[in-house]
Every structure is written in C-alpha cells, then in structure tokens.
Amino acid sequence: MSSTHPTRRRLLAGGVVAVAAAVVAGVLVFARDGGAPPAPAAAPAAAPAAEPVVAGTSNCGKGWAPHAGDQTVQVVNRGTAATDVEVVAIPSGAVHGELEGLGAGLTRPLRVVLGGGDYAIRCGVEDVSPITGPVVHVAGPPGPAGVVPVTANDLAGPLEQYTGYVTTGLTTLVRRTTELRDAVRAGDLGKARSAWLPAHLAYVRLGAAYGAFGDADGAIDGDPGGLPRGVADPGFTGFRRLEHGLWHGQSAKQLTPVADKLAADVAALRKSFPRSQIDPRDLGLRAHEIFEDVDRETLTGGADQGSHSELAEVAASLDATKELVGVLRLVLTTRYPRLSEVDSGMARLASLLAGLRPYRPLGSLPRADRARLNGSVGDLVEKLAPIAVICAPRRTS
Amino acid sequence: MSHSRRTFLLGGLAGAGAGLLTGSAGAEPARPASLAFHGTHQAGVLAPPARQVAFVSFDVIAPDRAGLVALLRTITDRARFLSAGGSPAPEGIAGPPADSGVLGPRIPGGATVTVAVGASLFDHRYGLADRKPAHLKPMRVFANDSLDPAWCHGDLLLQISAVDNDSVLHALRDIMRATRGGMQVRWRIDGFISPPRPSGTPRNLMGFKDGTANPDVTNGSEMDRLVWAGAGEPGWAADGTYLVVRLIRMLVEFWDRVSLSEQENMFGRRKDTGAPLSGSVESDLPDYHADPVGSVIPLTSHIRRANPRTAETDASRILRRGYNYDRGVDGAGNLDMGLVFTCFQQDIGRQFEATQERLADEPLTDYIAPFGGGYFFVLPGVPGADVYFGQPLVG
Ligand code: HEM
C-alpha cells in the first residue's frame, strides 16, 4: 500500500503507564517574539551527593525539600514497578515538573523551577491510584504557573464533538467523491478535474481522524512514496492516483477503476467509522501535525500530482486545525497562556490566504508571498506544538 | 569574454605606483572562544574570524513596524543568550523542549550573531525610507559576474560564527524557531576557516594563504577611517559598518590543471609560504616600488590590482574576511566549492567597489564565478541589557 501522511507520528506504545504521552519531560520555552528574555542563569548542578528523593508506591516524596527557584533533584524509584513522578502544586494539582516511566531501582534527575507555594511529589504506578507525597511549603515570590494535567475525562467532550464533525464531514466526502466518480465514469474528464478538488478537500478537512481511519487513509490519500514502481505502482490508489491520471492525460477508461475504488473506499470508511475510535491523544497531537504535513508535503510542492491545488489544501488544513482548536478550547483556555497567539496566527494565515485568491499554483507565487506563506505556517505550527504536550491525558486519581 | 578561455598573464608594461607600504601582514591572533555581547560595536566585526560561520540572508515578513520591532527584540534576546550560554528553564508539561539539545543540556555560549540590514528593508514597508544609511544600495553586477537572483540581496543578514559547526547550527535553529513569523530564509551559505597549513594564515580552496594583508584592527584611528560608519550617515548609524558578501565559486578542477608559476603570478604570492613574490616570508610586504613594470609581481596580479599600495588607493582598503564553502557537486560532476568573500568598510563605493573595479578582468577571473551575495549595513552594537539591535533605527 502507498505510504500515508508520513509526518503523522505513530503513538508510542511502549510507555509503562497506559496514558503516558509520547513526550519527554520538557524544558520551558523561553518567551519568544519579544517576550521577556530567557534567564541565561545556569541551572544549578544536580544536587551534590544528597540523599535522593524517593518515588514509587511507598514513601513517595520522602526526602524532598524544595526551595524557590531553579533546582535539580535526584529521584530514585525504590519500588518494584516503574513509576511516573510529578511535582504538583497543592491544591491546584498543576504540574511543574515530570519524570516519565522511572524504572524500578533507577535514579534520574528532575529539574523544576518553583515559586512560593505548597507542593508535593506525586507517584503514578500502573494499575495503582496515583500517590501524593507529603505537602511541602516553599517560601518565595510567585513562580511559573505550571499546568493542570488534562485527564481522559477532560477530553471526552472534545472527542464527542470532534467525532460529530468527522461524521458530518464523511457524508460530504462520500457525496463529493460519488460526483467525482460519476464524472470519470461518464468520460467527462473536464468535469472530473473540477470535481476532484472539492472531494479531496473534504478529505483534507478530516485531518485529525486519519489515525482512526487506519489503513483506509493510505488507500484514500496515500502518496507514491515507498512504492517500487512509484506513480505506476498498482498499490498507488486514491485521490493522489486519480489526480495524477487526470492531470497527466490518462483516459476515462484507465481511470474508471481508480475512481470506482476510491468511491468504494470512501463509502466503506463512512460505514466503518462509527465502530472505530479516535484516540483521545490524537486531538492534541494533530493540532500541530496537520500543519506539519502542510509544511513537509504541501508547501514544498512534494504532494502535488498535477492539480497544483496547494493553496486550497493549506486553506482546508487551516479549517481542519481550527476545528480541533475549537473543540479543545475549553481545555486549553486555562492551561495554555499563548492560546491567543494561536488564534492570531490562524487569523493571519486566513487573511493571507484570502489575499491570494483566486488560488494559483504554489510555484507561481511571487517570492514575497511565498515567504509570507511559509512564515505564517511556520509561526502557527510552532504555537500549535505545545497543545500536543498539554493535551496528553494524564491520570490524576 | 569567454569564461573558459583563460586570459594570459601579461608581463607588466604599464607605469608603476609609488611603493607605499601599508597594511599589517601575517597571521592574526587566535579568536577567543567567546566574545562579549554588549558593546558600542558588534563583536563579530573586528574579531579574528571564527572557524565556523553561516551567512543567512532573510526576507523580513513582519506585517508592520511593530512586528519589525518585535523581530529585532527577539533576535537580540536570542543572540544575547547564544553568546552567554545557559540552561533554558524546564518546560514541565507545558510544551516541547525549548532547546534543540544539539549542544547538550547546557548551552556553552560563544556563538556570535552579527546582525546587518539590506537596502530593501528601507523600502515602503516599515516607514524607514528616510533613515537609510548613506551608502547602502543593492549589490551591483560587476564584470565577470554570473549572479543568481535566488542567491542575492536580502532584508536582513545574520553572520553566525562559532568555534564548532554544531554551535553555528544550534544558533541558527534557535533563532529561526523564534522568528518564523517575522522573517524567512532567502539564502544561506556555511563557511569555514581551515587550520593553518602548516603555519601562518589559513589557506583557501585554491591552496593559497588568504587573509594575510589587512588593515590593523587594533589601530583605532585606522578603524575609524576605514571601517566604522563616517560623516554623512544618519545619527542612528554611528558605530555601524558596511558588510559586502560575495559568494564566489572556484573552478577548482580547472585551477588544479594550471602550472604553479602561473598560479603564483595570478596572485602575486608564493603558494607554499604565502610570501609576496618580492619577498621570502609571509609577513614580508610586497615591494612594488622596486618593481615598476611588474617583472617580479605582475601588474595584473590579484594583490597588486586589489591594493596597489599608493597614497591615492590607501582610502580604498577593506577589512577582508574570507571563508571557504563547500556545496557538493554540480551537474557536470564538478565540485561546487569556493570562497564566501566578505569585507567590512566605511563606504562600499569608495572601498569595495573601487577594489573590485581594479580587479576587473584580472587573470584570476577565469577560475572563479561570483554567483551571489549582497550589500548590508551592520547595525551598531547593543550597549546594554535593556537595548535591542536597531533600536535607534526603529524605536
Ligand atoms: C575567489 C576569489 C578570491 C580569491 C581566491 C582571493 C584570494 C586572495 C589571496 C590569495 C590574496 C593574498 C593573500 C592575502 O593578502 O590575503 C588576496 C589578497 C587580497 N584580495 Fe583577494 N581573493 C578573491 C577575491 C577578492 C575580491 C572579490 C576582492 C575585493 C574586491 C579581493 C581583495 C583582496 C585584497 C584587498 C587583498 C589584499 C591585497 C594587499 O593588501 O596586498 N579579493 N586575495
């Protein structure tokens, strides 16, 4: 089968804790775009030979004596099972630092920046309710806010909403793909070329659900990459295959089986979708990955098979991303201070695209427009990326 | 003129210049691992060249003047951090790591980011038309140029230099990540300086020591005459300087098929020692006075044309910084490598262009192909922690 959207990461299966997101405990994004300069101050070196803080099901948080500011403590898992370790604010539960999957017997450094307040260490071992260690008071000026973890429960509403959007979108997709197929069958390739774009865009707008579509995604919208015979490979099917034929002078007779299969695959997808599940982790991940694809495939011209509909694809990807940010908005408002920059980034891209209508091939854009387009997408995708980390569901109880 | 037919060196017949001996000679002192970020001038101008460098030209896409200010602030913050080093604060669960990690958890510092602007920044977009530096204009086309528009000009240029290549790339990624909405790369070339072989000034990819003769950067009044912006500049531009970048491919396969004496006559220096043909060691000054017709150092040789060492040409001297580049292979299977020629000066017309015009049709032109570059104005330094690059220009 042809390869699917290569940028869409596969969710890591390996984590010891079922809901562990594919994210390593990170480091703070220093304020960009004119915000406060980062503190060039050195992180204090790992605590010199002090007794490590204990994590695991017994004595979670024992030995932890934090102070205000930037600090690194060694954490040891004295239990027999791997544990997640978090530094949480009490009572808000906001997470300030995290070690994922600390193996039994292992010691690892954990770095946090704390302001004045009450904190505790929380240990999460699989199949056991998370254990919160003793509450410790830190004296000092206020520090970074931390993020209140998103739970699977928090994502239930967004997931339901998004599933509804996909269900409606699939209906549109089926209708438009049927029109496309009918035009090909009727031998009206001019009409088929006009019908191709709306049908393909209907698929692009479902960008966050590709994971749930499984193999169908490759059949419907795969590219010829990885196929031994490239565009001539029988495994190359779907929208891109049809695009290739429609814009490379292939006959209706040649293309009818391609269109038939595409219409059948799309219809089957609509039928099977209610029985499949969008992974809640996908919501956050796809918030930036739809545009990672745009950056990698569309803006390079790499995905095009002749229709040169790159700008329309960028616009449809923006629709798809807007929908995702929309369903996640409630979850994000209290957790992502730069959400307004996501909105202004989306607005900037939208107005740029509006100014480029009627859309022409990407390759014929004046260089200044191309730079603005690349920059607007690049800026937006940077601002969308934290959503994946913030919206990775975590267990809190 | 056909590019592939080389011009034969003409033993000099023309009259000679006075043998004015100017310019220091010999290897420069080593560059310190890290340069102070704050100062009247940007540190990356007079410092001895770093081993690794990237020249990255950007189109500014900030929507308006406020966006340009934000961009310059961000560049300043990043440059300050990349110079000083440190550890970005941990992100917790609020986002991906702030740093690429290419340099490990603690950024050692020592990357020097030098910021310059091109003439196009002073068009209608940001309301800066009346503040353009007096001598700033788009790069001209010179005899023997084969310029590719995709490799020319730019609104803003960063010269990113460091001891190691990973530091340069780390800095570039850091800055680009923080500024995607404000500027986009137009062209980029990476350069390097070779170690001394075996001693003295490092060699270029034609095998000659390159960078021997230069104005004396420790001589303040010489720098005031030759490098720092002078009279007639807008007030904000004081303490800036002009930077010319010329991307010059060397036709190294052709070059390697040329005899040693012809190569040496083209430059006017010995290939092995770097000594002028009139001397015996690299630090010897070329003697044109005793050689009026060019029987020792040909009148058409690169060094004699570039700097005839006369009273009349003294004010046209430039502070040269050349870096080797290597860009792979072309369609003919030939190596694509050459020189990122750069120079700092007070007045591009009086200095670089005058020098370049003297070099027109020099024998060396048959072995080189200038394909890109641009003219830029290096902004004044950032004197303190609360100031940003270009503040007196845009603030
Ligand atoms: C690929 C192109 C070039 C090569 C391979 C090259 C190479 C050299 C070499 C080997 C020297 C002698 C050693 C030294 O003093 O550094 C030299 C000197 C010099 N070059 Fe170039 N150069 C190139 C382009 C240019 C350009 C474009 C300019 C200016 C327009 C220039 C200006 C000079 C000057 C001013 C000197 C010093 C002359 C003196 O003061 O004695 N060069 N160059």
User: Cα B394 to chain center, whole Å?
Assistant: 25
Q: Which runs of E-coded beta strand occur in A115-229?
A: 117-125, 131-132, 136-138
Chain A residues with CB-CB distance to B70 below 8 A: 33-34
Instruction: Tell whether A211 lies on the interface with B, counting CB pairs under 8 A.
Output: no
Q: Cα separation of A42 and B283, whole Å? A: 44
Encode pLDDT of A369-381 as tens digits. 999 999 999 999 9
Confidence of residue A5 (pLDDT cuts 50, 70, 90): low
3 state DSSP class of A157: helix
Q: Which fold has domain A19-138?
A: Immunoglobulin-like (2.60.40)
CB contact under 8 A, A33 and B69: no
Question: Cβ of B90 and A25 within 8 Å?
Answer: yes
Residues of chain A with CATH 2.60.40: 19-138
How confident is the prediction along chain B (395 residues), in pLDDT tens digits per residue? 344 455 544 433 333 333 333 344 445 667 887 899 999 999 999 999 999 999 999 999 999 999 999 999 999 999 999 999 999 888 878 899 999 999 999 999 999 999 999 999 999 999 999 999 999 999 999 999 999 999 999 999 999 999 999 999 999 999 999 999 999 999 999 999 999 999 999 999 999 999 999 999 999 999 999 999 999 999 999 999 999 999 999 999 999 999 999 999 999 999 999 999 999 999 999 999 999 999 999 999 999 999 999 999 999 999 999 999 999 999 999 999 999 999 999 999 999 999 999 999 999 999 999 999 999 999 999 999 999 999 999 98
Question: Nearest to residue A167, comparing CAs of A260, A263, A276, A283?
Answer: A276
Contact flag A28-B88 (C-beta cutoff 8 Å): yes
Among A residues 335-394, those touching chain B with beta carbons less than 8 Å apart: 335-336, 345, 348, 367-368, 371-372, 374-376, 378-379, 382, 385-386, 388-390, 392, 394
Burial (CB count within 10 angstroms: exposed 0-12, middle 13-18, buried 19+), residue A62: middle
Contact B94 A70 (CB under 8 A): no
Which residues of chain A does CATH 1.20.1420.20 include?
156-390
Q: Which of A29, A34, A40 lies nearest to residue B84, judging by beta carbons? A: A40
Is pLDDT larger for residue A162 or for residue A208? A162
User: CB–CB of A27 and B178 under 8 A?
Assistant: no
In the predicted structure, residue A229 carries a pLDDT above the cut 80: yes
Q: CA-CA distance, A249 to A239, in Å (whole number)? A: 16
Whether the CB of B80 is below 8 Å from some CB of chain A: the reply is: yes
pLDDT band at A17 (very low <50, low <70, confident <90, very high): very low
d(CA A70, CA A46): 11
Say yes or no: A138 contacts chain B, CB-CB below 8 A: no
Report the relative pairing of strands A69-77 and A83-90 from DSSP bridges. unpaired
- Residue B367 Cβ < 6 Å to ligand 1: no
- Test B59 with A25 for CB contact under 8 angstroms: no
First to last CA, chain B: 49
User: Quick check: CB of B159 below 6 Å from ligand 1?
Assistant: no
Contact residues on chain A for B89, CB-CB shorter than 8 A: 27-28, 30, 38-39, 70, 113, 144
- At residue B141, what are phi and psi to the nearest 5 degrees? -95, 130
Report the C-alpha gap between A339 and A292 in whole angstroms. Answer: 18
Q: Does B174 touch chain A (CB under 8 A)?
A: no
CB B302 less than 6 A from any atom of ligand 1 = yes
pLDDT at A42: 45
Task: Report long-range pairs for A89-92 (Cβ below 8 Å, ≥24 apart).
Answer: A89/A117, A89/A118, A89/A119, A89/A146, A90/A117, A90/A118, A90/A119, A90/A120, A90/A132, A90/A135, A91/A118, A92/A146, A92/A148
Q: Please name which of B345, B373, B315 lies closest in space to residue B133, comparing C-alpha atoms.
A: B345
Residue A32 dihedral angles phi and psi, to the nearest 5° = -110, 175
Tell whether ligand 1 has an atom less than 6 A from the beta carbon of residue B206.
yes
- Nearest-neighbour CA in chain A from B226: distance (Å): 35
Question: Which chain B residues touch A40 with a CB distance below 8 Å?
Answer: 80-81, 84-86
Query: How many whole angstroms from B214 Cα to the centroid of ligand 1?
Result: 10
- Report the separation in Å between the CA atom of B313 and the middle of ligand 1, taken as the mean of its atom positions: 15
Average pLDDT across chain A, whole number: 89
A9 pLDDT band, cuts 50/70/90, is: low
CB of A28 less than 8 A from some CB of B: yes
In the prediction, which pLDDT does A38 show?
A: 40
B339 lines ligand 1 (CB under 6 A): yes
Query: Is B63 in CB contact (< 8 Å) with chain A?
Result: yes
Name every chain B residue with its beta carbon within 8 A of the beta carbon of A32.
Answer: 74, 177-179
B70/A146 touch (CB, cutoff 8 Å), yes or no: no
Q: Distance, CA B324 to ligand 1 centroid (Å)?
A: 13
CB contact under 8 A, B96 and A23: yes
Tokens 């865009």 sit on residue: A201
- Cβ(A390)–Cβ(A336) under 8 Å? yes
- B384 in reach of chain A (CB within 8 A): no
DSSP string, A17-64: STT--S---B-PPPP-TTSPPPP-PPPPPSPSSPPPEEESSSSTTTT-
DSSP string, A232-251: G-TT--SHHHHHHHHTTT--
Mean pLDDT in residue range A139-155: 94
C-alpha angle B51-B55-B58 in degrees, rounded to nearest 5: 160
- Candidate from A40, A367, A390 with C-beta closest to B85: A40
Contact B73 A372 (CB under 8 A): no
Contact A28 B92 (CB under 8 A): yes
Residue B183 touches chain A, beta carbons under 8 Å = yes
Tens digits of per-residue pLDDT, A240-249?
Answer: 999 999 999 9
User: Cβ distance A28 to B94 under 8 Å?
Assistant: yes
Q: In what order do the strands lie in the sheet with A53-55?
A: A53-55, A69-77, A107-114
Taking the C-alpha atoms of residue A37 and residue B86, their distance in angstroms, rounded to an integer, is 12
| pTM for the structure as a whole | 0.91
Task: Pick from B209, B283, B302 the residue to mutate for probing ligand 1's pocket: most ligand atoms within 8 Å of its CB.
Answer: B302
A377 Cα to chain B: minimum distance (Å): 8
Euclidean distance between CA atoms A369 and B157, whole angstroms? 20
Q: What are the CA-CA distances from residue B103 to residues A29, A47, A323, B180, B389 (Å)?
A: 16, 22, 38, 22, 25
Contact residues on chain A for B183, CB-CB shorter than 8 A:
375
Q: Rounded to an integer, what distance in angstroms lies between the CA atom of residue A304 and that of residue A312?
A: 12
Cβ–ligand 1 distance for B377 under 6 Å, the answer: no
Ligand 1 pocket residue status of B345, Cβ below 6 Å = no
Q: Which CATH number fits domain A156-390: 1.10.357.10, 1.20.1420.20, 3.30.70.890, 3.40.50.1100?
A: 1.20.1420.20
Task: Copy the structure tokens of residue A125.
Answer: 């071992």
* Cβ atoms A37, A31 nearer than 8 A: yes
Q: For the purposes of burial, counting CB atoms within 10 Å of the CB of B329, is it exposed (0-12), middle (13-18) or buried (19 or more)?
A: exposed
pLDDT at A40: 40
Could you give the CA distance from residue B293 to residue B11 in angstroms, rounded to a whole number?
8
B249 touches chain A (CB under 8 A): no
Q: Please give the C-alpha separations between residue A384 and each of A33, A281, A321, A376, in angstroms, as whole numbers.
A: 15, 15, 9, 12
**Ligand 1 in reach of B210 Cβ (< 6 A):** yes
- With contacts defined as CB-CB under 8 Å, which chain B residues touch A99? none
The reported pLDDT for the residue numbered B114 is 98
Q: Is the CB of B250 under 6 A from ligand 1?
A: yes
Please list, in sequence order, all residues whose beta carbon lies within 8 angstroms of the beta carbon of residue A31, skipping any fewer than 6 positions away. Answer: A37, A38
Residue B90 confidence (pLDDT): 83
Backbone angles phi and psi of B356, in degrees to 5: -60, -40
Cα(B240) to ligand 1 centroid in Å equals 24
Q: Which residues pair with A83 in a beta bridge?
A: A102, A125
Cβ neighbours for A243, distance < 8 A, ≥ 6 positions apart: A196, A200, A305, A306, A307
Which residues of chain B neighbour A23 with C-beta distances below 8 Å?
93, 96
Distance CA A193, CA A239 (A): 11
Q: Are A38 and A146 in contact (CB under 8 A)?
A: no
Q: Is the CB of B306 under 6 A from ligand 1?
A: yes
| For testing contact with chain A, the best of B93, B176, B180, B186 (most A CBs within 10 A) | B93
Residues 6+ apart with CB under 8 A from B277: B264, B265, B268, B269, B270, B286, B296, B297, B301
Q: Which of B56, B69, B91 to mutate to test the interface with A (most CBs of A within 10 A)?
A: B91
Which of A96, A371, A394 has the CB atom closest to B184's CB atom?
A: A371
Say if B59 is an interface residue toward chain A (CB within 8 Å): yes
CB B139 within 8 A of CB B116: no
